[in-house]
Amino acid sequence: MKYKTIKILSEYSDIGKRLDIFLSEKLQKFTRSQIKKIINQNLVMINNNSTKSQSKKIKKNDLIYISLEKSINDKLLPSKKKVEIVHEDKDIIVINKPQGMVVHPGAGNKKDTLVNILIGSHKKKLSKIGDPTRPGIVHRIDKETSGLLVVAKNNLAHAFLGKQFSNHSIRRKYLALVWGVLRPLKGKIETFITRSKKNRQLMIADEFKGKKAITKYHTVKVYSKIDVPKLSLIEFELETGRTHQIRVHMKYKGTSILGDNKYKKKNLKFKKLNKKFEILLNSLKGQVLHASTLGFIHPKNSKIMEFKSDLPAKFKKLLFFLDKLDN
């Protein structure tokens, strides 16, 4: 039987976690029962020492090796599709991901993901820390969210960037069009975020359980016209990076981002709607949310780097229409 080995370096946020919980978070394509089976079969090593203990506590900078049976489905298929590269050097690639592109392969998405494209263009010039189906991937943004993300080309860069994400020193700003007006116009949302028990594909904000989530925001502009519902252009800055964080926090505040069908505001009805706005609204294929700014310390030269991304065409078209109504 052929095995492949996955290497995972623990981060500050992993300290004190049970081994089975740690692996469940890092290897999300496996169920909890599959993770337990892997540990029981003596296929896990921590710092070159094998262990069968499910409850073994993770320490800082532990290097965990997991041996998994090779599967034909694990082979990453290169894609000839192109993606916009904002910056590239020997250690990192900064990508401007379009809306509709999945970051890495998963159930129902085996080709033409960002990883498949990078495999096609960069082959072996990607880091190999963590899940082998995600080479180079340090962080993700949702399929229907556009904008900036950084990819690591080697393991040292991956580990260095990973630490910045875990200690929340990465600068991440997003722009979104939101239904209604947030009160106050500027503030900070602090909750915990956990997976919904009713629908495992959704996340929910909770006052007591889950992972801490902090989102800063300020309202850039409020649009208020007779035949167009009140809308707000809002800039968000993430202090943490939880799954669907901004979208979940908007639902927590009683609203949602335009085009967000997963977390959309309930009972959203309009008596009278501008026809052109209705056409623009119906043309949306996902949330109007864009990762516009990404800042971090370079893993090799320690320089502070910051990148900005222009808004995608549909987002611009909506703003142009709304600004025209204001004139």
Do you know the residue count of the chain?
A: 327
- Taking the mean position of all CA atoms in its chain, how far away is CA 71? 26
Inter-CA distances, 252 with 86, 187, 204, 221, 316, Å: 34, 14, 8, 21, 27
Instruction: Show the tokens assigned to 87.
Output: 């910056």
Phi-psi region of 121 (alpha: psi -120 to 50; beta: other; left: phi over 0): alpha
- As separate numbers, helices (DSSP H) first and strands (DSSP E) second, the chain gives 7, 14
DSSP letter, residue 213: E
Strand pairing of 63-69 and 44-46? antiparallel
What is the CB neighbour count within 10 angstroms for residue 211? Answer: 17
Token couple for 30: 């496996």
Buried b (16+ CB within 10 A) or exposed e, 141-158: bbbbbbbbbbbbbbeebb
Report the C-alpha gap between 126 and 174 in whole angstroms: 26
- Residues labelled catalytic: 142
How far apart (Å, rounded) are the C-alpha atoms in residues 186 and 235? 10
Handedness of CA 195, 197, 200, 202 (dihedral sign): negative
Instruction: Say whether 311 sits in a helix, a strand or coil.
Output: coil
Collapse the DSSP code of 99 into the 3-class scheme (helix H, G, I; strand E, B; otherwise coil) and give the result.
coil
Reported as type and span, the H/E element at residue 109 is none
The Cα 178–Cα 250 span in angstroms is 8
